[in-house]
């Protein structure tokens, strides 16, 4: 019987857990044995007794849990504990399924390969309809987008909705969302629900209709170059195009009470869209929430993980918003993992069928080798630097 192990996340501030009791019960029903480290679910308000009731075995020590795993399911990439690398506790031939941030951290992928750990990176799930229910980037970005609008509303020095009262009429807040992928669209929808007037821009013109369908006005900027990859991701645009985008957005940013930025380009530093000058032109009391803070930031004044006050404007640079709503973010992440593991396991073992597009895209180390060319390239770039 394959043993699935769920550790307590060791990253400070990571409150999510890879499996919730409901998904543990589903795994048990499918014939897996599930081991959960004592306290693994506490950050997300699931206690050991709920996991036990779902059929899991509770393991006290972190090391003991990692050593027992055939498949270890995790949220954040492996870290360090008790002065040791967690991943070194996995037995060779075990499988790790987690967010691994492999393009930014190829050295860890190399170390996994050297340890003969087979690993799947949740960031690499293809963005296709077939893989939609395994798509953890989307499930977590959706939550981050929602929370970004709430953070903005809570930090803004004025109201989001229009209010007509005996004491006068208050106009609605103006929100601008830059980057209308999964997080951006949810930020728009949430800001609209709170009563703000919302406009949005994305470098991929194809999202115009989606933006309009969630109630925002799309800012059109004619762009001559091709801005999307064949997988639907944004490409890095050239300096001239980026400058043109900045010029058009300057006027929109100036009159916005809130700017929520979510623009990212896979494997690259996030594009710099909001300059220091633009921040200075915003009204005192305005707010920027920069969801790209962890990738270098879309705003020049962003400091990752901090709130910055600059010329009367609050710039919030959150690093892990899904972890601030750990109950629901863990539930949807656990569902993503359940679907993926069910898909991968055939006849009691993982079927490393590299003819399959999901396995091919997601498996980053197998039998001592790094399998992904972009990760190999990222590693080569590091060695050269």
Interface with ligand NAD by CB under 6 A: which residues? 127-129, 132, 135, 137-138, 141, 178-184, 201-204, 207, 232-234, 237, 245, 262-266, 271, 273
β-strand pairing of 313-316 with 307-310: antiparallel
Which of 10, 38, 132, 242 is labelled catalytic? 132
Tell me if residue 127 is catalytic.
Answer: yes
Smallest distance from the beta carbon of 244 to ligand NAD, in angstroms? 11
Which of 127, 158, 193, 374 is labelled catalytic? 127
Smallest distance from the beta carbon of 261 to ligand NAD, in angstroms? 8
β-strand pairing of 80-81 with 84-85: antiparallel
The residue (of 38 and 242) whose beta carbon lies closer to ligand NAD is 242
The residue (of 57 and 242) whose beta carbon lies closer to ligand NAD is 242
Nearest residue to 350 via CA among 363, 333, 361, 368: 363
Tell me if residue 70 is catalytic.
Answer: no
DSSP 88-132: GGSPTT-EEEE---TTT-HHHHHHHHHTT-EEEEGGGS--SSTTG
Smallest distance from the beta carbon of 37 to ligand NAD, in angstroms? 30
Smallest distance from the beta carbon of 357 to ligand NAD, in angstroms? 13
The residue (of 218 and 233) whose beta carbon lies closer to ligand NAD is 233
β-strand pairing of 33-37 with 57-59: parallel
Tell me if residue 68 is catalytic.
Answer: no
Tell me if residue 138 is catalytic.
Answer: yes
Alpha-carbon distance of 278 to 253, in angstroms, equals 7
- Which residue of this chain has its Cβ atom nearest to ligand NAD in the complex? 181
Which of 70, 135, 257, 290 is labelled catalytic? 135
The residue (of 141 and 334) whose beta carbon lies closer to ligand NAD is 141
Smallest distance from the beta carbon of 272 to ligand NAD, in angstroms? 9
Q: Residue 192: beta bridge partners?
A: none
Alpha-carbon distance of 127 to 83, in angstroms, equals 37
Smallest distance from the beta carbon of 259 to ligand NAD, in angstroms? 12
The residue (of 129 and 384) whose beta carbon lies closer to ligand NAD is 129
Tell me if residue 148 is catalytic.
Answer: no
Contacts of 368 (CB under 8 A, 6+ apart): 113, 114, 116
Which of 138, 148, 323, 329 is labelled catalytic? 138
The residue (of 114 and 229) whose beta carbon lies closer to ligand NAD is 229
Which of 233, 307, 310, 328 is labelled catalytic? 233
Nearest residue to 87 via CA among 108, 58, 102, 103: 108
Nearest residue to 304 via CA among 349, 339, 354, 269: 269
Q: How far is CA 339 from CA 48, 140, 216, 296, 355, in A?
A: 23, 16, 33, 32, 19
Active site residues: 127, 132, 135, 138, 233
């Amino acid at each position: 019987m394959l043993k699935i192990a769920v550790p307590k996340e060791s990253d400070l501030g990571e409150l999510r857990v890879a499996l919730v009791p409901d998904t543990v019960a589903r795994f048990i029903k499918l014939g897996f044995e599930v081991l959960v480290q004592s306290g693994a679910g506490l950050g997300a308000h699931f206690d050991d007794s709920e996991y036990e009731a779902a059929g899991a075995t509770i393991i006290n020590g972190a090391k003991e849990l990692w050593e027992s795993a055939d498949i270890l399911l995790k949220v954040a990439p492996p870290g360090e504990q008790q002065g040791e690398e967690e991943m070194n506790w996995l037995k060779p031939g075990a499988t790790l399924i987690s967010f691994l941030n492999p393009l930014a951290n190829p050295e860890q992928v190399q170390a996994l390969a050297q340890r003969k750990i087979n690993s799947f990176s949740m960031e690499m799930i293809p963005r296709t309809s077939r893989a939609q229910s395994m798509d953890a980037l989307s499930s977590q970005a959706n939550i981050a987008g929602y929370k970004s609008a709430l953070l903005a509303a809570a930090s803004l020095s004025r109201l989001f909705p229009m209010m007509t009262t005996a004491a006068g009429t208050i106009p609605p807040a103006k929100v601008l969302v830059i980057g209308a992928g999964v997080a951006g669209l949810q930020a728009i929808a949430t800001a609209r629900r709170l009563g703000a007037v919302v406009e949005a821009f994305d470098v991929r013109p194809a999202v115009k209709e989606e933006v309009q369908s969630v109630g925002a006005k799309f800012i059109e900027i004619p762009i001559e170059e091709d801005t999307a990859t064949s997988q639907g991701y944004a490409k890095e645009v050239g300096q001239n195009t980026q400058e043109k985008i900045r010029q058009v957005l300057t006027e929109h940013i100036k009159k916005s009470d809130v700017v929520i930025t979510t623009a990212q380009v896979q494997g690259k530093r996030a594009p710099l869209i909001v300059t220091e000058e633009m921040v200075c032109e915003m009204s005192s009391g305005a707010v920027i929430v920069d969801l790209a803070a962890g990738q270098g930031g879309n705003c020049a004044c962003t400091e990752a993980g901090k709130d910055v006050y600059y010329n009367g404007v609050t710039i919030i640079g959150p690093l892990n918003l899904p972890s601030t709503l750990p109950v629901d973010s863990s539930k949807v992440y656990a569902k993503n993992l359940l679907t993926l593991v069910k898909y991968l396991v055939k006849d009691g073992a993982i079927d490393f069928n590299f003819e399959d597009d999901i396995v091919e895209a997601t498996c980053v180390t197998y039998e001592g080798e790094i399998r992904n060319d972009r990760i190999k390239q990222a590693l080569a770039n590091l060695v050269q630097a």
